[in-house]
Amino acid sequence: MEEGRRPIFIVIPKWLYNYFMMVTVKVPTIDKRKRIPQEAIDQVVEKFKPQKIILFGSYARGNPRPESDVDILVIMDTPLKESKQSLEIRRHLDVMFGMDLIVHTPKRLKERMDMGDWFLRDVLKEGKVLYEADGV
């Protein structure tokens, strides 16, 4: 960090962070992100054995913009809190692009759907399944 410059901290309410359970890292070019899903998916599947991975948002709709990130929902059983599992997955990915990565257990996903979660309903309805384990 340059001398004399102070870091900027942004406070996000815990309920908002816990609701979306996202990790975001921005990358400058859209071209790098067009090929990311398969790279990222292969890494997540190999290391974490999820039940399903769904691409959603502008990349799933086919209309990403230069500032768009890649939105991915990972459905998997995990002993960790879902937010911590998101961080763990992102930490192990060997790709550099903007990504919002959300993890839900199948049980939590069902609970959220039963509560009428419009966000997850739209993800499941309009998202593109990039990976699905056998027997799911």
The pair of structure tokens assigned to 65 is 């913009």
Q: What is the pLDDT of residue 15?
A: 52
Calculate the CA 105 to chain-centre distance.
13
What pLDDT, in 10s, does the model give residues 94-116? 766 778 899 999 999 999 999 99
**Is the per-residue pLDDT at 87 higher than 60?**
yes
Q: What are 120's strand-pairing partners?
A: none
Residue carrying structure tokens 């699905």: 132
* Token pair belonging to 129: 């399944």
Strand intervals (E) in 1-136:
52-56, 70-75, 99-104, 128-132
The yes-or-no verdict on residue 134 having pLDDT over 70 is yes
pLDDT (tens digit per residue) in 30-40: 555 555 567 77
What are the residue boundaries of the structural domains of the chain, listed by start?
Answer: 21-132
User: At 119, is the pLDDT very low, low, confident or very high (cuts 50, 70, 90)?
Assistant: very high
Give me the mean pLDDT over the 59-83 stretch.
Answer: 88
21-132 — its CATH code?
3.30.460.10
Query: What pairing do the DSSP bridges indicate for beta strands 128-132 and 52-56?
Result: antiparallel
Confidence of residue 29 (pLDDT cuts 50, 70, 90): low
